[in-house]
Homo-oligomer: A and B are copies of this chain.
Amino acid sequence: MEPNDCRNCEIRSLALFGEISSEGVDQFAEQTYQVQYPAGATIYEQGDKPEAAFTLREGIIKLVRNSGTDRSQIVRLLVKGDLMGIEGIFEEPYRQSAIALTPVRVCYLPLPMLDRMRTEEPRFTEALLGRWRRALNEVEELAVELGTRKAEERVAAFLLHWQEKAEHDDDNWMPFPLSRTELGQMLGLRVETVSRVLARWKREGIFEERSSRLRLLEPDCLDQLLAQGTETATAAHRE
């Protein structure tokens, strides 16, 4: 819990400060703190009054929206460099809960500091804009999957997207910290459905899994599966 050296942050290029001048960063750095949470911890809860936003430095976080239903929906997965909880600068309660899927390290960015940045650093607002835009894009994509694809396709699409997004190390092994239930909460499916699909694909050698990591062996297989839903779309371009 001590002030950061944000100027030399190893993920600064990814993070919010990456888009702000080094001198600009320095004056704010001392007001931020790094915090760690174990897997399963709640960083903040939907509906709570925000006192800070967070940059994710290490680990993976799910943003969960609870809504009326007994089923909750994961609306986004965050990886290194992602920003969360920034809705606070609009005097708005947190719109989702942020829950660690792995042990995580986050930067704690107090709201008053962010408010000052917003007025003093024009680039800051620009940076936020870019983030919000990308977030919107991701959620829209999720909505499309949920609205137009069936179970198998959703799982396939997820795995392929996730491979892009998550940092797959040396030999295509990527982190896969979601339980079957959670994957279901992301894709609008029940545990059993997810389990069946994955179990079958594992048998068929389409991917392998080891201690919360996963590797696609036949990504083309999944591509094809998605392409099948597409064939009419490529031929006739209307609907």
What is the bound-complex CA distance between A137 and B136, given in angstroms? Answer: 9
Give the one of A137, A142, A147, A185 with max B CB within 10 A: A147
A95 CB–B CB distance under 8 Å: yes
What is the bound-complex CA distance between A144 and B227, given in angstroms? Answer: 26
Flag A195-220 by CB within 8 Å of B: 1 or 0 each: 00000000000000000000000000
Task: Report chain B residues within 8 Å CB of A69.
Answer: 144, 148-149, 229-230, 233
Closest CB of chain B to A134's CB: distance in Å?
Answer: 10
Are B65 and A140 in touch, CB under 8 angstroms?
A: yes
A171 CB–B CB distance under 8 Å: no
Are A68 and B226 in touch, CB under 8 angstroms?
A: yes
Interface of A is mostly: helix
A4 CB–B CB distance under 8 Å: no
Give how many copies assemble into the complex: 2
Q: A95-B137, A122-B122, A140-B139 are in contact. Are A148 and B239 (CB under 8 A)?
A: no
Are B73 and A147 in touch, CB under 8 angstroms?
A: yes
Interface stretch of the complex, out of A10-18, A19-27, A104-112, A123-131 = A123-131
A59 CB–B CB distance under 8 Å: no
A43 CB–B CB distance under 8 Å: no
A135 CB–B CB distance under 8 Å: yes
Task: Report chain B residues within 8 Å CB of A70.
Answer: 229-233, 239
Closest CB of chain B to A171's CB: distance in Å?
Answer: 28
Q: A147-B187, A149-B69, A229-B69 are in contact. Are A133 and B239 (CB under 8 A)?
A: no
Task: Report chain B residues within 8 Å CB of A122.
Answer: 122, 125
List residues of chain A with CB under 8 Å of any chain B CB: 65-73, 75, 87, 90, 95-96, 122, 125-126, 128-130, 132-133, 135-137, 139-144, 146-149, 185-188, 226-227, 229-233, 239
Write 6 A-B pairs (CB below 8 A) sorted by A numbering. A65-B144, A70-B229, A70-B232, A132-B132, A132-B136, A146-B147
